[in-house]
Structure 1
């Protein structure tokens, strides 16, 4: 008998030693080369960079992951309790692995084998932190062992609150939400402190599989999972029976985040984005959570956009009608056909319409959805055919010369005609009256800045950012022409000339060299005015006076003035440059003028 007991004891001792040895080998083998968990001490999750206008209005958000980081101390206790009940109720007592929970999950899964019930997991929050931050999502025994080893190490290095803070700010909860704060906004349009029991329970139901509990695709499954979390909160003593019943009785109501009001300043914003990118790099812009305060004034930006757009449309309209967007064969399903035509870039507030009938003086049109409208003759007769080299076709006599049935066009709703004369009264139109419109081919830029501070208050680098992202304020090099002349006169004043100094306004001829002919600048009027005060030269923008003045003081002085004011760098010292033949950007030229104002 004693021999048998001794034999059994030896076997148990051997198995124990083998188990301990095997465990040590596993720890050694899988513990080598693991990621450094200490990096979590300095972890700053990628957060949203926000760009604001001068009045504080939001212009844009840049982020790889739209996350709002919230310290654990600022989180509502109800939120913490919900996630603990759903994911790891023994979080504050286990050493990183919940052995009791693992055994319980194993028994439950064995009992549910062969049923449709969801398998119960046993990963603790610490293990999920190890997986999310340091490992991959690979489903394997090796990863689970590494996850367990890292969980033990993390528990020894960090406090429970720090681990929970990392978890709640990192987890993905669906709808583009990283972290609980972003999820609260995206699902319920609330801050964490405003969430009800039912709402925090739903968020706590999402970490395992947010797509499986999508509130719109699987509302019943989502509500069932939410109620399960509420039951767990009740079992753990985080809510009372009455609170639990009240929360479960509520329907799952998701209120998507309200559209944030953004100030519109696409070209200005892109310039800001590029400069941040150049200075701080990709991570700085998209992950560092900067709060950028800019100088743009949304009210002035709106005015600048409107004025530039109006000017370009008026100019483009003077150069004729280039034709419809496309042409379709309208039948009984014309509304569906026109709806299928993609809106061209630059349409803005205008609408697509199809021509249904054409008379001599009116055009009947239809819109996606089946609505009808009319274009009167007064809003159509401008559309003379655009010919080559800026020429126009003959005046339009009938609507049929401009439009045909099936033409898909851009139109704008109008309530009255536009008077041509100041004392002319506008003609009122009946409802559903529209004007023929055309997206401009021409483009331009406009910038407004405070001359005393240099702050850019408005910038529009083109008609529409969706047509062209090229910024004609900061990137387009153009000849300034007569806008450069003040810097010639400034250089002359610095050399002792006065506004009353007489400068000869007479023919000016320079031999440019063999085979180049003679350079003969002229005034816009093609006239000569003799000796004239320098003041008159700049007031009347006299080309001949400007060239002669530049020759008198020396182009080197003009080049120096242009460089000092930032108009042009390394400008050639040639007389043609005095008339603005060089190239500069609109922003540089405007900044130079601002310096003149600022003294």
Structure 2
């Protein structure tokens, strides 16, 4: 009786179980029908074998210099297409052993591999590890030709359907031929022939066992196992391939024992030169300029190879020992003609012309004087070089002396810091910062008083752009490196130069050029002379950590920076020494075939040029002794050479004393400190700031100079 009752109770559960199985069976049958339909629909839509052979694997980009010379080829490289019977047997066997040992028996999807991958995924649940180990060679062909590498479940389903369809349309030999000629092996190489030439320097039709093992091992992780990136990892992976070949019976134990992947001879790496600094900067701009990711591209650039060689030689020859150097040249329309981001691209591809941010020192006075000229000052205006204190900051001149009344031309030529500080106080430090941003400085510009001495970090390319805009009569110059892009003979992008943005009035730019050419003719930039009109400015930062020279001549503007990447002191480095010499060495070559161009204003020499101690104005760093790397005042009394009170020139020789001073060094006593800090008198009153003038093509009428009066300093 109990047994009959138990049977009756269990019957409903049995019926439900059977019904569930029936529903699942029907669903499975429908799914199978849907799969078959999907596979045969996909099969009918597959291209022919010849079309699959010619389909691209990625985008090839060829970069041309201004004269049409191909300077670099990027993207995929393809070797010779090898038919199945021309592919060495060891290469075919190595690939099948390591990637898909049941390739010859499965229908395109390996059920055993799928089950193993599902088990692995179950064990790794809760982690970020992907489902791995399930893709067959046929699935990889489907993914390489038809799909992307985006990893999601939907893509895996599409990949499986395409793999089943490919197996229905093509033979195993054809599929393996496609795979070996199209799979990516790293280093831009697609296919075994391109990989063999890339890594071993010969075609794939002569690959031996060791070389085939190295290439087969690359597919799993091309960048990780690349023999040129990590030879040890590549050899270790090749050893795994040889072991798998033995396990699958492709080679004998004796052959496996005799294999030695470490004996392979790698092809030498192609030489890299400074051209790559330019292409590394220019090519990422393609993402903004064009919307073409499939067709091969021909990119035409502004790079002048003769100038590039001269720039590279100038930096290598003049950069101080253990220091780096950078140089960039911009033509009058903004075309970047040369770019060197370091002394050696191979040892360091860090582009110091476009990426590094460093203090420009007195080169930043360009913006101080531009603001002053726009506010109504003229090069002949006079100010008094005297001790001045602004918000607790007391700038000093490099000579340690004050010269009294002088013109702005003299102050700029010899980089007199007290005059720059007074101009900053008059026109406003925020106005100077705005001027810098107006001229293309993209890095933050602070507005504390010491900013007039160049304490804000800038990029060399931005500073060069600013000087180029002055040379362009105040019209904005925007650097560009790409002139044209074509795809299969069709122009899809052409550069258009915008000459409509006026930054300052032409007369302001002409006056600034007047000051800049004075600095080269008789001031801190004398080493930059090249036998034709040159205008420019030096810059040197605290303790000789950075040296700058930026200038222009005959339509070309060139900026040079030198220093150490770790910002340590470089003995003897000043803007008027190595950077100015590198500028001259380069520009003599760069402008050789260009006509001599006179500036709008003739050079006028400053009144101090005949003084015997003129060198004292630029014997030291432009902003040393006054502010530290953060722009904070340095303790008064500090000198460039600890333990010595005397000022020295670039070669370490003592400079003559300033006029009116005693020949012997000053004593560092309290008297000296009080005098230098100006503690016995109040700061000079600040004149009213002249209002900014709108850019105009016509020089303004004479404006009476504002009389000094008591006023509150800018907050």
Which TM-score tier does this pair reach, normalised by the shorter chain? 0.3 to 0.5
Q: TM-score, normalised by structure 2?
A: 0.37
Q: TM-score, normalised by structure 1?
A: 0.43
